[in-house]
Structure 1
Amino acid sequence: MASVRVLGVDPGLTRCGVGVVDVERRTPTLVHVEVVRSAAEDPIELRLLRIARGVEAAIDLHRPDAIALERVFAQANLRSVMGVAQISGIVLRAAAEREIPVSLLTPTEVKAAVTGYGAADKRQVGEMVRRLLRLDAAPKPADAADALAIAIAEGWRTRMAPSAGGSVTTPAQRAWAAAESAARSGRARR
Protein backbone atom coordinates (compact mmCIF):
# COMPACT_ATOMS: atom_id res chain seq x y z
CA MET A 1 0.00 0.00 0.00
CA ALA A 2 1.59 3.29 -1.15
CA SER A 3 1.79 6.30 1.10
CA VAL A 4 -0.33 9.42 0.64
CA ARG A 5 1.08 12.93 1.00
CA VAL A 6 -1.25 15.44 2.62
CA LEU A 7 -0.77 19.16 3.08
CA GLY A 8 -2.75 20.48 6.05
CA VAL A 9 -3.61 24.14 6.54
CA ASP A 10 -4.63 25.86 9.76
CA PRO A 11 -5.91 29.08 8.15
CA GLY A 12 -5.20 32.40 9.77
CA LEU A 13 -4.50 35.88 8.51
CA THR A 14 -1.68 36.66 10.95
CA ARG A 15 -0.35 33.10 11.31
CA CYS A 16 -1.23 30.39 8.79
CA GLY A 17 0.03 26.93 9.71
CA VAL A 18 1.14 24.68 6.84
CA GLY A 19 2.10 21.07 7.52
CA VAL A 20 2.93 18.23 5.16
CA VAL A 21 2.96 14.56 6.14
CA ASP A 22 3.30 11.27 4.34
CA VAL A 23 0.95 8.61 5.70
CA GLU A 24 1.63 4.95 5.07
CA ARG A 25 -0.93 2.68 6.66
CA ARG A 26 -1.47 4.37 10.04
CA THR A 27 2.01 5.86 10.34
CA PRO A 28 2.46 9.56 9.57
CA THR A 29 5.90 10.94 8.78
CA LEU A 30 6.82 14.63 8.90
CA VAL A 31 7.78 16.13 5.55
CA HIS A 32 7.52 19.87 6.23
CA VAL A 33 6.01 22.37 8.65
CA GLU A 34 5.98 26.16 8.71
CA VAL A 35 3.91 29.12 9.75
CA VAL A 36 3.38 31.75 7.06
CA ARG A 37 2.94 35.15 8.70
CA SER A 38 1.60 38.54 7.73
CA ALA A 39 1.84 41.78 9.67
CA ALA A 40 -1.38 43.15 11.14
CA GLU A 41 -0.43 46.69 10.13
CA ASP A 42 -0.12 45.82 6.42
CA PRO A 43 -3.03 46.42 4.03
CA ILE A 44 -5.32 43.39 3.74
CA GLU A 45 -4.47 42.79 0.08
CA LEU A 46 -0.75 42.52 0.88
CA ARG A 47 -1.47 40.20 3.81
CA LEU A 48 -3.54 37.91 1.60
CA LEU A 49 -0.86 37.96 -1.10
CA ARG A 50 1.87 37.03 1.40
CA ILE A 51 -0.11 34.09 2.80
CA ALA A 52 -1.15 32.96 -0.70
CA ARG A 53 2.45 32.94 -1.91
CA GLY A 54 3.60 30.98 1.13
CA VAL A 55 0.87 28.34 0.82
CA GLU A 56 1.32 28.03 -2.94
CA ALA A 57 5.09 27.64 -2.54
CA ALA A 58 4.55 24.77 -0.09
CA ILE A 59 2.04 23.12 -2.45
CA ASP A 60 4.36 23.43 -5.43
CA LEU A 61 7.44 22.25 -3.54
CA HIS A 62 5.86 19.25 -1.79
CA ARG A 63 3.26 18.24 -4.41
CA PRO A 64 0.64 16.76 -2.07
CA ASP A 65 -1.89 14.14 -3.15
CA ALA A 66 -4.53 15.92 -1.07
CA ILE A 67 -5.04 19.14 0.85
CA ALA A 68 -6.90 19.34 4.14
CA LEU A 69 -8.17 22.61 5.49
CA GLU A 70 -9.77 23.45 8.80
CA ARG A 71 -13.43 24.29 8.21
CA VAL A 72 -14.44 27.84 9.07
CA PHE A 73 -16.76 27.91 12.06
CA ALA A 74 -18.70 30.69 13.74
CA GLN A 75 -16.96 32.66 16.44
CA ALA A 76 -17.87 35.78 18.37
CA ASN A 77 -14.93 37.61 16.75
CA LEU A 78 -16.14 38.55 13.25
CA ARG A 79 -12.72 39.90 12.19
CA SER A 80 -11.12 36.56 13.03
CA VAL A 81 -13.76 34.62 11.09
CA MET A 82 -13.34 36.92 8.07
CA GLY A 83 -9.57 36.42 8.02
CA VAL A 84 -9.92 32.63 8.29
CA ALA A 85 -12.54 32.64 5.51
CA GLN A 86 -10.32 34.74 3.25
CA ILE A 87 -7.34 32.44 3.75
CA SER A 88 -9.56 29.40 3.21
CA GLY A 89 -10.64 30.85 -0.12
CA ILE A 90 -7.01 31.33 -1.14
CA VAL A 91 -6.20 27.69 -0.30
CA LEU A 92 -9.29 26.38 -2.10
CA ARG A 93 -8.39 28.38 -5.22
CA ALA A 94 -4.78 27.17 -5.17
CA ALA A 95 -5.93 23.55 -4.84
CA ALA A 96 -8.50 23.89 -7.63
CA GLU A 97 -5.93 25.48 -9.94
CA ARG A 98 -3.63 22.48 -9.39
CA GLU A 99 -6.49 19.93 -9.45
CA ILE A 100 -5.68 18.67 -5.95
CA PRO A 101 -8.63 17.32 -3.93
CA VAL A 102 -9.50 19.27 -0.80
CA SER A 103 -11.19 18.14 2.39
CA LEU A 104 -12.64 20.47 5.00
CA LEU A 105 -12.37 19.16 8.55
CA THR A 106 -13.87 20.66 11.68
CA PRO A 107 -11.64 21.25 14.69
CA THR A 108 -13.61 18.54 16.54
CA GLU A 109 -12.95 15.99 13.79
CA VAL A 110 -9.22 16.76 13.81
CA LYS A 111 -8.93 16.60 17.60
CA ALA A 112 -10.85 13.33 17.75
CA ALA A 113 -8.66 11.85 15.02
CA VAL A 114 -5.32 12.61 16.63
CA THR A 115 -6.17 12.48 20.34
CA GLY A 116 -9.29 10.34 20.54
CA TYR A 117 -11.09 13.25 22.23
CA GLY A 118 -12.96 15.87 20.19
CA ALA A 119 -12.64 18.54 22.89
CA ALA A 120 -8.87 18.19 23.37
CA ASP A 121 -6.97 21.40 24.07
CA LYS A 122 -4.07 22.82 22.03
CA ARG A 123 -1.48 21.30 24.36
CA GLN A 124 -2.98 17.82 23.99
CA VAL A 125 -3.10 18.14 20.19
CA GLY A 126 0.52 19.33 20.09
CA GLU A 127 1.66 16.47 22.31
CA MET A 128 -0.10 13.84 20.18
CA VAL A 129 1.34 15.35 17.00
CA ARG A 130 4.78 15.14 18.64
CA ARG A 131 4.24 11.48 19.54
CA LEU A 132 2.70 10.47 16.21
CA LEU A 133 5.51 12.10 14.22
CA ARG A 134 8.18 10.90 16.67
CA LEU A 135 9.50 14.43 17.33
CA ASP A 136 11.57 15.64 20.29
CA ALA A 137 9.17 18.52 20.96
CA ALA A 138 5.71 19.61 19.88
CA PRO A 139 5.80 21.96 16.88
CA LYS A 140 5.51 25.62 17.85
CA PRO A 141 3.54 27.78 17.59
CA ALA A 142 0.24 25.93 17.96
CA ASP A 143 -0.66 26.85 14.36
CA ALA A 144 2.14 24.54 13.15
CA ALA A 145 0.97 21.63 15.31
CA ASP A 146 -2.64 22.22 14.24
CA ALA A 147 -1.70 22.14 10.54
CA LEU A 148 0.10 18.83 11.05
CA ALA A 149 -2.87 17.44 13.01
CA ILE A 150 -5.16 18.41 10.12
CA ALA A 151 -2.85 16.67 7.64
CA ILE A 152 -2.60 13.54 9.81
CA ALA A 153 -6.39 13.36 10.27
CA GLU A 154 -6.94 13.62 6.52
CA GLY A 155 -4.17 11.13 5.79
CA TRP A 156 -5.77 8.60 8.11
CA ARG A 157 -9.21 9.26 6.65
CA THR A 158 -7.88 8.82 3.12
CA ARG A 159 -5.78 5.74 3.94
CA MET A 160 -8.44 4.09 6.10
CA ALA A 161 -11.46 4.71 3.88
CA PRO A 162 -13.19 1.48 2.87
CA SER A 163 -12.59 2.37 -0.79
CA ALA A 164 -8.84 2.35 -0.03
CA GLY A 165 -9.14 -1.16 1.38
CA GLY A 166 -8.67 -0.03 4.97
CA SER A 167 -10.76 0.00 8.08
CA VAL A 168 -10.90 2.37 11.04
CA THR A 169 -9.22 0.37 13.78
CA THR A 170 -7.61 2.55 16.44
CA PRO A 171 -9.56 4.20 19.29
CA ALA A 172 -8.54 7.63 17.97
CA GLN A 173 -9.76 6.72 14.50
CA ARG A 174 -13.06 5.39 15.87
CA ALA A 175 -13.52 8.63 17.82
CA TRP A 176 -12.71 10.60 14.67
CA ALA A 177 -15.28 8.61 12.67
CA ALA A 178 -17.91 9.33 15.35
CA ALA A 179 -17.06 13.05 15.33
CA GLU A 180 -17.23 13.17 11.54
CA SER A 181 -20.61 11.42 11.57
CA ALA A 182 -21.93 13.84 14.21
CA ALA A 183 -20.67 16.83 12.22
CA ARG A 184 -22.37 15.54 9.07
CA SER A 185 -25.66 14.92 10.83
CA GLY A 186 -25.45 18.42 12.33
CA ARG A 187 -24.96 19.93 8.86
CA ALA A 188 -27.87 17.88 7.52
CA ARG A 189 -30.22 19.39 10.13
CA ARG A 190 -29.38 23.00 9.18
Structure 2
Amino acid sequence: MRILGIDPGIAIVGFGFVDKQGSRVVPVQYGCIQTESTTAPEVRLLQVFEATEKLLDQYKPDAVAVEKLFFNRNVTTAFSVGQARGVVILAAAKRGLQIAEYTPMQVKQAIVGYGKAEKKQVQEMVKLFLKLKAIPKPDDVADALAVAICHAHSSGLQDQLNGAWTR
Protein backbone atom coordinates (compact mmCIF):
# COMPACT_ATOMS: atom_id res chain seq x y z
CA MET A 1 0.00 0.00 0.00
CA ARG A 2 1.38 3.40 -0.95
CA ILE A 3 0.48 6.29 1.36
CA LEU A 4 0.90 10.02 0.88
CA GLY A 5 1.28 11.93 4.14
CA ILE A 6 0.55 15.67 4.10
CA ASP A 7 1.45 18.43 6.54
CA PRO A 8 -0.69 21.25 5.13
CA GLY A 9 0.18 24.91 4.90
CA ILE A 10 -0.11 27.82 2.52
CA ALA A 11 3.60 28.70 2.42
CA ILE A 12 4.92 25.14 2.73
CA VAL A 13 3.07 21.86 2.24
CA GLY A 14 5.16 18.97 3.45
CA PHE A 15 4.61 15.68 1.65
CA GLY A 16 5.92 12.18 2.10
CA PHE A 17 5.19 8.99 0.17
CA VAL A 18 5.78 5.69 1.93
CA ASP A 19 5.08 2.09 1.00
CA LYS A 20 3.66 -0.23 3.63
CA GLN A 21 5.20 -3.66 3.00
CA GLY A 22 3.85 -6.02 5.61
CA SER A 23 4.97 -4.54 8.93
CA ARG A 24 7.67 -2.40 7.27
CA VAL A 25 7.27 1.19 6.14
CA VAL A 26 9.65 2.23 3.36
CA PRO A 27 10.21 5.79 2.12
CA VAL A 28 9.48 6.43 -1.56
CA GLN A 29 9.76 10.20 -2.01
CA TYR A 30 9.41 13.26 0.17
CA GLY A 31 9.74 17.02 -0.05
CA CYS A 32 7.64 20.14 0.01
CA ILE A 33 5.48 22.38 -2.12
CA GLN A 34 6.33 26.05 -1.54
CA THR A 35 4.47 29.21 -2.48
CA GLU A 36 5.65 32.81 -2.28
CA SER A 37 4.08 35.15 0.26
CA THR A 38 3.94 37.92 -2.34
CA THR A 39 1.65 35.83 -4.56
CA ALA A 40 -2.14 36.31 -4.34
CA PRO A 41 -3.82 33.78 -2.02
CA GLU A 42 -5.98 32.28 -4.75
CA VAL A 43 -2.91 31.72 -6.93
CA ARG A 44 -1.06 30.11 -4.03
CA LEU A 45 -3.97 27.71 -3.51
CA LEU A 46 -3.99 26.90 -7.22
CA GLN A 47 -0.25 26.21 -7.05
CA VAL A 48 -0.76 23.83 -4.11
CA PHE A 49 -3.63 22.10 -5.91
CA GLU A 50 -1.74 21.66 -9.18
CA ALA A 51 1.46 20.49 -7.47
CA THR A 52 -0.56 17.99 -5.42
CA GLU A 53 -2.22 16.68 -8.58
CA LYS A 54 1.19 16.16 -10.21
CA LEU A 55 2.46 14.27 -7.17
CA LEU A 56 -0.66 12.09 -7.06
CA ASP A 57 -0.36 11.30 -10.76
CA GLN A 58 3.36 10.55 -10.55
CA TYR A 59 3.47 8.43 -7.38
CA LYS A 60 -0.08 6.95 -7.46
CA PRO A 61 -0.82 6.47 -3.75
CA ASP A 62 -3.61 4.21 -2.50
CA ALA A 63 -4.37 6.51 0.42
CA VAL A 64 -3.78 10.08 1.53
CA ALA A 65 -3.31 10.94 5.21
CA VAL A 66 -3.61 14.60 6.17
CA GLU A 67 -2.84 16.28 9.46
CA LYS A 68 -5.98 17.79 10.96
CA LEU A 69 -5.96 21.48 11.65
CA PHE A 70 -5.74 22.26 15.33
CA PHE A 71 -6.93 25.58 16.71
CA ASN A 72 -4.43 28.30 15.96
CA ARG A 73 -4.30 31.60 17.84
CA ASN A 74 -3.79 33.38 14.53
CA VAL A 75 -7.17 33.05 12.81
CA THR A 76 -5.81 34.28 9.47
CA THR A 77 -3.16 31.56 9.48
CA ALA A 78 -5.73 28.93 10.49
CA PHE A 79 -8.00 29.92 7.60
CA SER A 80 -5.22 29.81 5.01
CA VAL A 81 -3.95 26.45 6.30
CA GLY A 82 -7.54 25.15 6.22
CA GLN A 83 -7.89 26.28 2.63
CA ALA A 84 -4.63 24.56 1.68
CA ARG A 85 -5.86 21.36 3.38
CA GLY A 86 -9.03 21.68 1.37
CA VAL A 87 -7.32 21.83 -2.01
CA VAL A 88 -5.11 18.85 -1.12
CA ILE A 89 -8.16 16.84 -0.03
CA LEU A 90 -9.99 17.93 -3.19
CA ALA A 91 -7.14 16.70 -5.41
CA ALA A 92 -7.22 13.33 -3.62
CA ALA A 93 -11.02 13.06 -3.66
CA LYS A 94 -11.06 13.90 -7.37
CA ARG A 95 -9.05 10.69 -7.89
CA GLY A 96 -11.25 8.60 -5.58
CA LEU A 97 -8.45 8.03 -3.09
CA GLN A 98 -8.93 6.90 0.48
CA ILE A 99 -8.50 9.94 2.76
CA ALA A 100 -7.67 9.81 6.46
CA GLU A 101 -7.16 12.68 8.89
CA TYR A 102 -5.11 12.61 12.07
CA THR A 103 -4.67 15.15 14.83
CA PRO A 104 -1.13 16.13 15.82
CA MET A 105 -1.66 14.23 19.09
CA GLN A 106 -2.66 11.04 17.23
CA VAL A 107 0.45 11.32 15.03
CA LYS A 108 2.74 11.82 18.04
CA GLN A 109 1.11 8.87 19.83
CA ALA A 110 1.63 6.63 16.78
CA ILE A 111 5.23 7.71 16.18
CA VAL A 112 6.66 8.27 19.67
CA GLY A 113 4.12 6.51 21.87
CA TYR A 114 3.30 9.74 23.70
CA GLY A 115 0.71 12.22 22.43
CA LYS A 116 2.49 15.24 23.85
CA ALA A 117 5.93 14.40 22.49
CA GLU A 118 8.24 17.20 21.39
CA LYS A 119 8.67 17.93 17.69
CA LYS A 120 12.34 16.84 17.84
CA GLN A 121 11.33 13.43 19.23
CA VAL A 122 8.91 12.90 16.34
CA GLN A 123 11.57 13.90 13.81
CA GLU A 124 14.12 11.50 15.31
CA MET A 125 11.61 8.65 15.26
CA VAL A 126 10.74 9.36 11.60
CA LYS A 127 14.45 9.14 10.81
CA LEU A 128 14.72 5.82 12.68
CA PHE A 129 11.49 4.28 11.30
CA LEU A 130 12.47 5.04 7.72
CA LYS A 131 16.21 4.38 8.18
CA LEU A 132 17.10 7.84 6.86
CA LYS A 133 20.60 9.31 7.18
CA ALA A 134 19.24 12.67 8.36
CA ILE A 135 16.03 14.26 9.57
CA PRO A 136 14.14 15.56 6.52
CA LYS A 137 14.06 19.35 6.20
CA PRO A 138 12.15 21.59 6.45
CA ASP A 139 10.23 20.38 9.51
CA ASP A 140 7.03 20.16 7.44
CA VAL A 141 8.54 17.26 5.46
CA ALA A 142 9.34 15.23 8.58
CA ASP A 143 5.84 15.99 9.86
CA ALA A 144 4.29 14.75 6.60
CA LEU A 145 6.28 11.52 6.78
CA ALA A 146 5.10 11.12 10.39
CA VAL A 147 1.48 11.43 9.21
CA ALA A 148 2.11 8.77 6.54
CA ILE A 149 3.71 6.43 9.08
CA CYS A 150 0.82 7.03 11.46
CA HIS A 151 -1.61 5.97 8.75
CA ALA A 152 0.49 2.93 7.86
CA HIS A 153 0.30 1.79 11.48
CA SER A 154 -3.35 2.76 11.99
CA SER A 155 -5.11 2.01 8.72
CA GLY A 156 -5.77 -1.71 9.22
CA LEU A 157 -7.27 -1.21 12.66
CA GLN A 158 -9.29 1.81 11.55
CA ASP A 159 -10.68 -0.11 8.58
CA GLN A 160 -11.81 -2.91 10.89
CA LEU A 161 -13.39 -0.50 13.37
CA ASN A 162 -15.06 1.84 10.88
CA GLY A 163 -15.50 -0.26 7.76
CA ALA A 164 -14.03 1.17 4.56
CA TRP A 165 -13.56 4.91 5.05
CA THR A 166 -13.10 6.16 1.58
CA ARG A 167 -14.62 9.45 0.62
The answer, yes or no, to whether TM exceeds 0.5 is yes
Q: Which residue number corresponds to residue 93 of structure 2?
A: 96
Q: Which residue number corresponds to residue 165 of structure 2?
A: none
Which runs of structure 2 are paired with 1:24-173 in the superposition (5 Å)?
Answer: 24-161=21-158, 163=160
Q: How many residues align structurally?
A: 161
Q: Deviations over 1:72-118 (max 9, x none)?
A: 12110112111110011101111111000101100000011011111
Higher mean displacement: 105-114 or 88-97: 88-97
Of residues 1, 12, 15, the one that matches 1:15 is 12
Letter in 2 for 1:141: P
Q: What is the CA–CA distance in structure 1 between the aligned matches of 2:11 and 2:54, rounded to whole Å?
A: 18
Contact 2:5–2:144 at 8 Å: present in 1 too?
Answer: yes
Q: What is the CA–CA distance in structure 1 between the aligned matches of 2:113 and 2:9, rounded to whole Å?
A: 25
TM-score (norm 2): 0.92
User: Which ranges of 4 or more aligned residues in structure 1 deviate by more than 3 Å?
Assistant: 159-164
Which ranges in structure 2 are unaligned for 5 or more consecutive residues? 162-167
Contact 2:6–2:15 at 8 Å: present in 1 too?
Answer: yes
Letter in 1 for 2:42: E
Contact 2:48–2:88 at 8 Å: present in 1 too?
Answer: no
Deviation (angstroms), 1:41:
1.1
Q: Residue 137 of structure 1 aligns to a residue in which SS?
A: coil
Deviation (angstroms), 1:138:
0.7
Deviation (angstroms), 1:162:
7.1
Deviation (angstroms), 1:160:
4.7
Higher mean displacement: 45-54 or 60-69: 45-54
Letter in 2 for 1:90: V
Q: What is the CA–CA distance in structure 2 between the aligned matches of 1:161 and 1:75, rounded to whole Å?
A: 27
Contact 2:4–2:15 at 8 Å: present in 1 too?
Answer: yes
The percent identity for this pair of structures is 38
Q: What is the CA–CA distance in structure 1 between the aligned matches of 2:13 and 2:34, rounded to whole Å?
A: 6
Tell me which structure has the larger Cα radius of gyration: 1
Q: Residue 135 of structure 1 aligns to a residue in which SS?
A: coil
In structure 2, the CA distance between the partners of 1:161 and 1:24, relative to structure 1 (3 Å rule), is farther
Higher mean displacement: 152-161 or 10-19: 152-161
Q: Which residue number corresponds to residue 183 of structure 1?
A: none
Q: Deviations over 1:26-75 (max 9, x none)?
A: 31100010110001111001111111111111111111110000111211
Deviation (angstroms), 1:25:
2.6
